[in-house]
Amino acid sequence: MTEPLRVALVGCGNIALGHHIPAYLAVPERFRIVGIADPTPERLELGRAAAGLAADQVHADVAELLARADVDAVDVCTPQHLHRDVAVAAARAGKHVLCEKPIAAVPADAEAMRAAAAEAGTVLAVVANYLFFPEMVVLRRIIESGELGEIRTVRVDMLGVHDLPGAAGYKPAWRHDPAQSGGGVLVDMLHGVYLAESLLGERARQVSAFVDSGTDGDAVEGLALCRLEAERRVALVNIGWGVGPGGVIVHGESGRAVAQYRDNGTMPWAPFESLTVTTEHGTRTVDLPAGPELEPLVLASMRDTVVDFADAVRDGRAPAADAAAALHILEVTVAAYASGALGRTVPLPFPEDGALFRRGAVGLTELDVPEAALVRRRGLFGLGPSPAIAGGA
């Protein structure tokens, strides 16, 4: 029997306490939580209690945790602008890493993380837990069976996303600071992006989008309507905070498949309701039970995510979402912001010496964004009237 993977968590926010720690505890034969680190005393104590650790197993300084010989892997649950330093240091210490999505706030940071893991020969996995939702697993099987023919379009609607605050002990509104978050609802829910590409079967080569803030004065977008082009295949990804519709539609040359959620809502807040397949032979409803509510659904998908990570470490294989894939998904989201600002289609991948690769969404301040652009007029991503306009020159 394989020995349990000894894992330590960095960051004791809502994601760690509500999802990651319960996922590890759900499979004790695969994992043993041996440590946590967080600079905020109250969050550190909450994490210690949730994981059932002794006082000498918790650390205010992550360097102390990484120096421990009894840690095999590190689970990075910090805000994304802090991922790079922890993941790079962990790789250099010989630790495998599971990192919360998005991999980073800036593509350059994601590339540094990928390179550090590659150099160290360690696994760097990024959370993509929606891939493990039962209806998504079955939908991919249907696509792979050839029943729908060659896939042409995928549409993922997530227009009913909840705008949830961060942990009170840190900065509850950090997701609305583009320098820390890397963007708004799209980067926060880039689950929709990787799901779309997974179902499409190809990576986007260029992106176009409309983005706007959800409320006046917000520095990040609350609505993103995106088109991801992969040669002859195209995905439409529509994500927004609010109470809009949700659902997934896959269209192939021989048929279509439609995943619906309760009251046409957005996963995972609205449970899965039905999956139908339509071809020239008619419409059938796939024999798949209605989905669970939010908490059990996310716990099950996180359990599957951490088990996939452990298997990748044990078997020396790539995880469900590796660093290269996560870097690409991050670039897709930044390209959407750039398209909304510049009013044109943005090609991928980014040149590594460009502002978008180096600085992500806030790199738009270095580009020639038109004065009339909605993104500039709304003050998103650090943009605003040019100095000449603002000064009345």
Q: Residue 162 pLDDT more than 90?
A: yes
pLDDT over 70 percentage in the chain: 96
Q: Could you identify the residue written with the tokens 């909605």?
A: 374
142 DSSP assignment = H
3-state DSSP helix/strand/coil % of the chain, to nearest 5: 40, 25, 35
> Which two tokens mark 176?
């609305």
Mean of pLDDT values over 132-154: 98
pLDDT over 90 percentage in the chain: 93
DSSP 268-322: TTSPEEEEEEEETTEEEE---PPPP-HHHHHHHHHHHHHHHHHHHHHHT---SSB
CA angle at 105 for the pair 101 and 111, rounded to the nearest 5°: 85
* Residues in CB range of 353: below 8 A, 6 or more apart: none
End-to-end CA distance of the chain: 73
Mean of pLDDT values over 41-52: 97
pLDDT band at residue 14 under the 50/70/90 scheme? very high
Question: What is the predicted pLDDT for the residue at 391?
Answer: 40
Question: What is the predicted pLDDT for the residue at 392?
Answer: 38
Q: Could you identify the residue written with the tokens 């044990």?
A: 314
pLDDT band at residue 1 under the 50/70/90 scheme? low
Mean of pLDDT values over 252-258: 98
Give the separation between CA 70 and CA 302, rounded to whole angstroms.
24
Give the separation between CA 245 and CA 259, rounded to whole angstroms.
12
Question: What is the predicted pLDDT for the residue at 384?
Answer: 83
Q: Residue 71 pLDDT more than 60?
A: yes
Assess contact for 337 and 183: CB atoms under 8 A.
yes
What are the two backbone dihedrals, phi and then psi, of residue 376, each rounded to the nearest 5 degrees? -70, -45
Question: What is the predicted pLDDT for the residue at 390?
Answer: 44
Return mean pLDDT, the chain: 95
| The residue type at 192 | G
Tell me the pTM: 0.95
Assess contact for 116 and 196: CB atoms under 8 A.
no
Assess contact for 304 and 133: CB atoms under 8 A.
no
Give the separation between CA 279 and CA 79, rounded to whole angstroms.
44
Assess contact for 338 and 356: CB atoms under 8 A.
yes
Give the separation between CA 153 and CA 230, rounded to whole angstroms.
10
17 DSSP assignment = I
Q: Residue 393 pLDDT more than 80?
A: no
Q: Could you identify the residue written with the tokens 């996310």?
A: 298
Q: Residue 66 pLDDT more than 60?
A: yes
Mean of pLDDT values over 189-215: 97
Question: What is the predicted pLDDT for the residue at 25?
Answer: 98
Closest CA to 94 of 109, 79, 113, 73: 73
Mean of pLDDT values over 126-142: 98
Give the separation between CA 158 and CA 168, rounded to whole angstroms.
26
Closest CA to 286 of 294, 297, 278: 278
